Chains A and B, each alone.
Chain A
Amino acid sequence: SAVISQKPSRDICQRGTSLTIQCQVDSQVTMMFWYRQQPGQSLTLIATANQGSEATYESGFVIDKFPISRPNLTFSTLTVSNMSPEDSSIYLCSVARDSSEETQYFGPGTRLLVL
C-alpha cells in the first residue's frame, strides 16, 4: 500500500476564512479522492481529484466551496472555502494505485474545527 501524508493534521479556523489541505503520496497513483467525515458520522465522498483536469464532484458538493487541485500523480490539495462551523469535520484523502485497483488507501486525515 502507498504511504500517504496530509498537512495540516489539525487546525482551528475562524468563520469566513479558507483552509487548504495537502495530500502527498510516496508513489505515483492514478486515482485520488477526498472524503469528509462529520463528527460521529461515516465518510462521504466529496470529489475525485483528476490529474490535469477539473475534479469530479459528488452531489451536494461544489467547486466554489471545495476547490481541488491535482498537479501531478503524487499530490493533491483540497480547499475548504468561506468556512462555517458546519464545515468542522475530518477531511481524508484516499488513493487507488490505478484505475483498476478497487482498494482505496486513506491518509491520516485533517481534523478541522471552525469557530
Chain B
Amino acid sequence: AQKVTQAQTEISVVEKEDVTLDCVYETRDTTYYLFWYKQPPSGELVFLIRRNSFDEQNEISGRYSWNFQKSTSSFNFTITASQVVDSAVYFCALSESWYSSASKIIFGSGTRLSIRP
C-alpha cells in the first residue's frame, strides 16, 4: 500500500535560516510520481514540484531545492534563506502511475512551517 510520512508536524525557524522538510514514502510500484504542495493560510493548494521515479536528479528553483533518494525512499525539500512568506503548511504526496490514467494522489499529513521575523 502507498504511504507518505512527514514526521515533522511543525517547524519554526528565524527568517534567513535554511530549513529542510522531510518526506518518506512507501510504494510497491516501480513507476510513481512524487509531489510537493504548499498551502498558505489562505487555504489554496499551490503545486511546487513533481518528480517521477526514474529521475533522481536533484532540482533547484530559486531558494527551493529538492533531494530525491530512492535508496532511502525520501524526497526532502529545502528552503534556503527562509522568508516570512514561506510560512505555510507543506504537503508531500505520491501517486502511482498507470500509463493511461491520472492516478489517485496520496498526501502526507503535512508540515506546518513558521518563519519568525
Contacts and interface: CB of A to CB of B under 8 A. Distances in A.
Interface of A: 1, 30-31, 41-45, 48, 58, 90, 92, 94, 96, 98-109, 111
Contact of B95 (A1, A100, A102): A102
Contacts of A102: 33, 50, 52, 95, 97, 102-103
B44 A107 contact: yes
B14 interface: no
A107 B43 CA distance: 10
Contacts of A58: 104
Taking each of B35, B104, B108, which has the highest tally of chain A beta carbons within 10 Å of its own beta carbon?
B104
A90 B44 CA distance: 10
- State the majority secondary structure of interface residues on A: loop
B44 A41 contact: no
A101 B44 contact: no
A96 B105 CA distance: 11
B50 A43 contact: no
Given A99-B100, A102-B50, A42 B110 contact: yes
Interface in B1-49: 33, 35, 37, 42-47
Contacts of A106: 37, 44-47
